[in-house]
Amino acid sequence: MKSTGIVRKVDELGRIVLPIELRNALGLYPKEPVEIFVDGEKIIFKKYAPNNACMVTGEISENNIILSNGKVVLSRDEAIKLVNELKYKL
């Protein structure tokens, strides 16, 4: 885990402000959803990506193909492109 050196206080409502530099670096924009995880004593924030969104195009569709126990999600078009690319790489 990489330290940013940033320290913030939690306000009375439990809010924490993420500095603009950090938000810009991570591509977080106003009103964009963020997923929250807990790992022991760590709180982890991650830019939210729906489980069925294509990892290449971001397209959300019930026709997307989910591979590798949900770690890889591709639209049918992108899956075909990947298969074709792999044919030439392997």
Each residue's pLDDT tens digit in the chain (90 positions)?
788 889 999 999 999 999 999 899 888 889 888 889 899 999 988 887 667 888 899 888 889 999 988 889 999 999 999 999 999 888
Q: Are residues 78 and 44 in the same domain?
A: no
Same domain (yes/no): 73, 35: no
State the pLDDT at residue 41.
Answer: 93
Same domain, residue pair 40 and 57: no
Q: Are residues 44 and 65 in the same domain?
A: no
Question: Do 53 and 40 share a structural domain?
Answer: no
C-alpha distances out from residue 39 to 16, 36, 43, 44, 45, Å: 18, 10, 6, 7, 11
Name the residue range of residue 37's domain. Answer: 1-48
Q: What is the pLDDT of residue 75?
A: 93
Those residues with Cβ within 8 angstroms of residue 47's Cβ, 6 or more apart along the chain or in another chain = 26, 27, 28, 32, 33, 34, 35
pTM of the predicted protein model = 0.52
Instruction: Say how many domains are in the chain.
Output: 2
- Are 21 and 42 part of one and the same domain? yes
Q: Count CB-CB contacts under 10 A for residue 59.
A: 17
Question: Residue 78's pLDDT is what?
Answer: 94
Predicted local distance difference test score (pLDDT) of residue 15: 95
Predicted confidence at residue 70, as pLDDT, reads: 80
In a shared domain, residues 1 and 27: yes
